[in-house]
Structure formats: structure tokens, C-alpha cells
Amino acid sequence: MSREHLFTKVDLGAGLTLNNRLIMAPLTRSMADDELVPTEDMATYYARRSDTGLIITEATQISKGAQGYPNTPGLYTEEQIDGWKNVTQRVHQNGGKIFAQLWHTGRVSHEVFRGEQPIAPSAIGINGTVPRSRDLTYGVPRAMNAEDIEQVIADFASSAANAKKAGFDGVEIHAANGYLIDQFLHYTANQREDDWGGTPENMSRFLFAIIEAVKPHIQQVGVRLSPAAYFNIEHDARDVAVFDYVLPKLNALELSYVHTGMFEDDPIDYLGGTVTQYIRRHYHGTVIASGGYSPESAGKAVVRGDADLIAIGRPIIANPDYVEKVRTQGPLVEYDESMLLELV
């Protein structure tokens, strides 16, 4: 069976070896305390899933201004660093590896979190309400100026340094799913006419500046990307040229991996296959597939060479012992949305 291929080790370089190819995907749970500090319950939650090859934490704010959802954790205060230390220590005690996913929501936010108008590449809003909130409606963001851009880049670097202090094995730069970095990479969100928009080179400048700023602070750095606009953002046919430019350039940056940002990794006509297959054609390093994979489809993706690692989301919420169940072909508990209300 193809699932047996999920249980071989993978070398991410610089002395970091994963025990298997099953990754815990980043899963927003909104379970930090009111100061956005990780709790003891969160430490227990992650520790129980330490047998995955790698845990990627829920999206974690790089600054107060980065927040877009209630009670999502931060990594910019000493209290938050200490809270995450408890998490990483518990995971390491159980033999696991863990990366922090660094996050700025951009226009997918509300002034109630920031204390001021959200920022974005351009003053273009999105429709809808903030999830897990008091029916807060999104507004129109303020277009970032040069000072804003440099501050966010610095905040990513500072959070990477804090991740190192907190004991993380690495970080993942969240450049997917319609959040701030992804907004720069898509034409419907980025209509700038300066050095940060208008061409693939300019639109990707923000991403590359963040990678450059983060790397001196922590050795292992991954990036999550959404070449297909599907969440909090609309597709424009010109976007493909942006990612045709971005992905080959990532080959020279010695990243730990590139991670697919999709809920369902189905074939997309304009990419000539799934998002993961598209990434693989352009990026030659380690690839993490994500988006609705079962143990069988995960094993087949590895065998085909589409990806090296497979990130699993909702089934890992429902099954803390997911890896062992896949290994022994035991029955999996089916995920239900009610499970989001408690940490198990």
C-alpha cells in the first residue's frame, strides 16, 4: 500500500531530520488567552500530536497590528515567548519537531483588534464578517506607505528571533490564504504603482524582503504559498506570472520547504494540475502538500513525486493519535466542526 511510504525519514538539512512524512498543518483554534499568550491547554494539545514528522503551529501574529481573529496567539511579547516555550518544551520532550507559522492578516482584520484601520497593499476591502467574532464586518484598509512596509518586515524578523528564543525548530512564513504577504502577490489586492506593485518582480519584493530579514535569526525557514487565489482574495489571470517568477527564485534561498496553501488540493486548469504539482514543477527543494489528503492519497502523492511531505489538518484535530492510526490502519474519528470548541 502507498501509505507505507509516509513512514520514512526526511532530512530538512542543517541537522533537522523528520521521523515521518506526515505534518500537522497550521490550524487556527483561537484558544490563546486575552493577552494572546499560549495556554497550558495548548501545550497539551500540541504535545499529544508530537509523533507527526513536524508540527506547524496555528498562525501566530508578529505584532499587535497583525491580528485579525480573536484569541489567536502572538510572538512579540515576553509573556508570549514564555507561553510558547512551554509548548516547544512539551513537544520536544515527546520527541517532536515544531515550527512557528508567522502571520500578518493585512486587510483580513478589523480596527477592534488593531486599534486603528487595517493595512494592506492597496485600499481595497473584502466582503464578509470576521470569523469567531461578534459579527464584525470588514472595512476598507489603508494602503501601506513605505514606513508601514519596513515596519512589517522588521516585525517578521523580530518574531523569528523570538521563535528561536521560544525553542522552535524553525519558522514558516505565512504568505498564503489571502493574508498580507499573499495580498501583495495577487493583482486584485495589489494595485500599487510603486516599487511594490505592477509587475511580478515588484509584487514579490515584499515576500523576498521578509525572507531575507528572517533568515539571519533562525536557521530553518519555510514558506507557505497560494498560487491559486481562493480565500479572502479573487483570482486574476495575471497572477500566474507572479508565481512563475517567485517559485524559481526561491530555489536559490536554501529554504526548509515550500508549503501548499489550499483547503482542497484539486486540479486547476490554469496551473496544469494541482497547486502542489505546479509548485513542484518550479521549485526543486522540499515540498509540503496540503489540502484534503487522506492517508491513501497522501501516500500516492509521495510515490508520484508530487510532494515530499503531506500536511494533514482537520483529521489531526479529530485524531490526536493520527500517525499511529495511519501506521496501523486503525479507524479514524471523523472531524466535526463542534471539535473546534475544545482542545483534545
Residues 207/181, Cβ–Cβ less than 8 Å? yes
Which cell numbers in the block locate residue 7?
513512514
CA-to-CA separations, 197 to 151, 186, 202, 205, 207, in angstroms, rounded:
18, 9, 5, 9, 12
CA distance 280 to 307: 7
CA-to-CA separations, 209 to 75, 150, 245, in angstroms, rounded:
20, 9, 15
The C-alpha angle with vertex 101 and arms to 12 and 182, in degrees rounded to 5, equals 105
**Adjacent-strand bridge partners of 105:** none
Q: Name the catalytic one among 46, 76, 179, 293.
A: 179
Q: Is 179 a catalytic residue?
A: yes
Phi first, then psi: give them for residue 74, nearest 5 degrees. -115, 175
DSSP string over 152-198: HHHHHHHHHHHHHHTT-SEEEEEE-TTSHHHHHTSTTT----STTSS
Residues 137/129, Cβ–Cβ less than 8 Å? yes
Catalogue the active-site residues: 179
